[in-house]
Structure formats: structure tokens, C-alpha cells
Structure 1
Amino acid sequence: MKVNSGEGNAVLIGELARRTGVSPRLLRYYEDQGLIGARRGANGYRTYDEGAVTTVRQIRALLAAGLSTEVIRTVLPCAEGEEPQLELCPELVATLHRELAAMDEAIASMRRTRAALAGYVPPGG
């Protein structure tokens, strides 16, 4: 989990949601999954540091790439920038290769299923 350093301005969950386009509910989910960290103010409100904006954008990009939150938790320490760019250590490369292989198998399975279903439809109809 990317831990908030306490540096910079504190951002409340509503502000983080506004700046990232991610709902507060989803931000709490990311926190529960160990993807972002929050501090609690004296009033009990969650506060995040400025870096959380980038981290949430990284999470969104990695989710869009088809990674699960479990895999993202292992990838985030290697992520830099909002795109993000990944520092490809051998462990990360192995993880990404496993994910690609799983996606390839899912695609092949869907093609087989589609072919089976298409067999029930008359040609041209």
C-alpha cells in the first residue's frame, strides 16, 4: 500500500473524489483493499496526502489494463506518474506475464464458447 507521507496538504475524501472522478465509496474500497492509505483526523474524517491523487489515477489506469486489485497492490510500488510507468523488476515482469497468459486463456475460452453458440444459429440468419 502506498502510505501517505504526511507531507503537503491533507485532502478530505470528498476532495479526492472530486479531483479523481472516483466516488468516495470506491475510495473506501481501495483503502480496504490496501491500495491507498488514509489518516484519521481528530474529527474521524479520512485525510489523504496530495500523492493520493496520483495513486488513485494509477489504480484506475491499472484497472483499465485488466489487472485485479490484488495484482495492483503488488504493482503500485513499481508505478511512477499518472499513466503509470512501471519500473520493471523481474518479479513484476513475471506477474505481468502471468496476467497476460490468464487473459489469453480467457480470450481463447470465449472464442470456443462463441463458436459453440454460433453453431446453433443458421448461416446468414
Structure 2
Amino acid sequence: MRIGEVAEKSGVSVRSLRYYEEQSLITSTRTPGGQRQYDAPVVPRVHLIQQLYAAGLASRTIRQILPCIDSGKITPALLKGLTAERTRINRQITDLLTARARLDDLIATAERPGPGCTRVDA
């Protein structure tokens, strides 16, 4: 699969795919003309990488995680680091849920007649 196809199927830019390759997160082979070729399993791999980035993990950490996903084996040191990442993500989820609850309250107050926050139409 060529890089443009992977970009389209995975929903990421060609530039991102090149970056992932530079970071050794994905690999490709080259055609005689020098074009990148990827195997089909790269698309779910790119989705996983995107999820891990969205969760705030660094390239270095993702690079350490991917072989463990492939092999099913993990070192004690990496396990400790991943446990810390999970704790950070859980804290972030809690903060996001709190922010959403505050927004829900504000929206409910604005939609309810009476005193409180009044909606102003521009």
C-alpha cells in the first residue's frame, strides 16, 4: 500500500506517516522507484499510535510500547512507566469529567427560566 493510501485509510497526513517512520513507530519498504510501500496491518497500527498520542504519550514511550503489543511481553521497568501513564490518564479523565459537569450546569442554568445566568442572543 502506498503512503497516500495509508494516509487516506488511517485519516492522518502523509507528513505524519513520514514522522512516524522517522520515529521508528512504523516501517515501510521501498519500491525500485523509491516510493514507500506499507503492509495492510499498518493502518490499525497508525490508529493505535494516534490514540496513544491523543492520550498524551510521547514518541519514545510509544516506541517502547509497540514491541510489547506485538510480543505480549513487557519489562518490569516499562510496566512501572505504563502504570504511571495510566494514573496520569485517569487523573486527566477525572478533570475532563469535572469540566464537562460544570459546562452541563452552566448550560442547564442558561436554558432554565428565572434568575441565574441569562442567555444573550447576539
TM-score (norm 2): 0.64
Matched, 1:75 2:61: no
Residue number in structure 1 paired with 2:11? 21
The structure where strand makes up a greater share of residues is 1
Residue number in structure 1 paired with 2:36? 46
Structure 1 stretches of 4+ with a deviation exceeding 6 A read none
Residue number in structure 2 paired with 1:99? 85
Distance 1:63 1:88 in 2: 22
Of 20, 24, 34 in structure 2, the residue corresponding to residue 30 of structure 1 is 20
Distance 1:100 1:53 in 2: 24
The structure where helix makes up a greater share of residues is 2
User: Which has the higher Rg, Structure 1 or Structure 2?
Assistant: 2
Distance 2:55 2:73 in 1: 16
Post-superposition offset of 1:59: 0.3
More moved, 32-41 vs 92-101: 92-101
Letter in 1 for 2:49: I
Structure 2: tracts of 5 or more residues without a match: 93-122
Q: Secondary structure at the match of 1:79?
A: helix
Residue number in structure 2 paired with 1:83? none
Structure 1: tracts of 5 or more residues without a match: 1-10, 81-86, 108-125
- Contact kept, 8 Å, 1:58 with 1:79, in 2: the verdict is no
Give the share of equivalent positions with the same residue, in percent.
43
Post-superposition offset of 1:19: 0.2
Higher RCO, 1 vs 2 (CA within 8 Å, ≥6 residues apart): 1
